[in-house]
Amino acid sequence: MREINVAAITSCVRQMCMDANYHLSPDMQARLFEAAETEQSPLGRQILEKLKENLEIAAADQIPICQDTGMAVVFVEVGQEVHLTGGDVSSAIQEGVRRGYQDGYLRKSIVRDPLTRVNTGDNTPAVIHYTIVPGEQVRITVAPKGFGSENKSRLFMLVPADGVDGVKKAVLQTVREAGPNACPPMAVGVGIGGNFEKCACLAKQALLIPTDQQSEDPQIRKLEQELLAEINKTGIGPAGLGGTVTALALHVKTYPTHIAGLPVAVNICCHVNRHETMVL
């Protein structure tokens, strides 16, 4: 049994909220830079160059890449040999978000109640997903998610007869409807299988996969490649103003499902696909 004081978790979460908002992960940044070279539209290339410049300014001035610094999504994998001490772990995570958003000059975008809509003033609460895993470590990922793209995400309860073509149709339809609203070029996370809520979570987790990592399952790898190619044929392009780069990355995560169902979730993210991970 290893003891970890939750104060260490607060400190990590605070730091990751800030880092994620000032810097893109190197893999995501590399895809954006590559796109600025390959984009066929002159206006599209100009926009991608501006986005590159935006990243440089954000890093140099410690100013958020995007003013929508998101709702903080926190994935916590707790080793079952770990004993968390010093207080309630969820409160410690929320405190980390509170301090990160305050100390990092990040936007407070959360309202207490979805209907009465009064801002909480500190960007809490975050959405926290816990998993218990073997081992004696705690692995925390902070993924601040903007809502321009979150609003364009969709969940489809397909039927088995829809098959892989139905999955493709659902993804393409979601991307087309998102269009310029989701600040393309996008990152696309696709969940297939599980049930209603599991599928949505898979799609969110698919956005965390490094852009250069491919699925180990040949069938899924092929699906990822085909979907990305088809999305980039839509012509939506950077900022939705036409071009050959509409998505920078697409990943699929699957889970066993019921004999009667084929759930598909599509989580759209803009190019500011932010996430930071720390292991305690």
Partner 1 sequence: MDCRISTPFTKEKAAELHIGDMVYLTGTIYTARDAAHKRMMEAIRQGRPLPFDLHNSIIYYMGPTPARDGRPIGSAGPTTAGRMDAYAPTLLDLGETGMIGKGRRNEAVRQAVIRNGAVYFAAIGGAGALLSKAITSAEVVAYEDLGTEAVRKLTVQEFPVIVVMDSKGNDLYEIAASKYCTE
Please report, as ranges, the residues that interact with partner 1 according to CB under 8 A. Answer: 40-41, 43-44, 47, 50-51, 53-55, 57-58, 61-69, 105-109, 117, 119, 121, 148, 151, 179-183, 230, 233-237, 239-244, 270-272
Say how many C-beta atoms besides its own lie within 10 A of residue 82's C-beta: 18
Q: How far is the CB of 141 from partner 1 (least distance, A)?
A: 21
When the beta carbons of 40 and 213 are compared against partner 1, the nearer one is 40
Nearest distance from C-beta of residue 35 to partner 1, angstroms = 13
Q: Residue 178 in 3-state DSSP?
A: helix
**Residue 272 and residue 138 in contact, taking contact as beta carbons nearer than 8 Å:** no
Please, what is the minimum distance in Å from the beta carbon of residue 108 to partner 1?
6
Q: Among residues 118 and 260, whose Cβ is nearest to partner 1?
A: 118
CB of 267 to partner 1, least distance (A): 17
Shortest spacing between CB 101 and partner 1, in angstroms: 9
Residue 46, burial from CB neighbour count under 10 angstroms (0-12, 13-18, 19+): middle
Cα–Cα distance measured from residue 179 to residue 85, given in angstroms and rounded to the nearest whole number: 47
87 vs 148, beta carbon nearer partner 1: 148
Nearest by Cα to 55 from 82, 30, 85: 30
For partner 1, give the closer residue by CB, 40 or 219: 40
| Residues 123 and 72 sit within 8 Å (Cβ to Cβ) | yes
Q: By 3-state DSSP, what share of the chain in percent is helix, strand and coil, each rounded to 5? A: 45, 25, 30
- Backbone phi, then psi, for 187, in 5-degree steps? -115, 140
Task: Pick the closer one to partner 1 by CB: 3 or 177.
Answer: 177
H helical segments located in the chain = 6-22, 26-38, 42-61, 89-103, 147-150, 163-178, 196-206, 218-231
Q: How far is the CB of 136 from partner 1 (least distance, A)?
A: 38
Nearer to partner 1, 177 or 217 (CB): 177
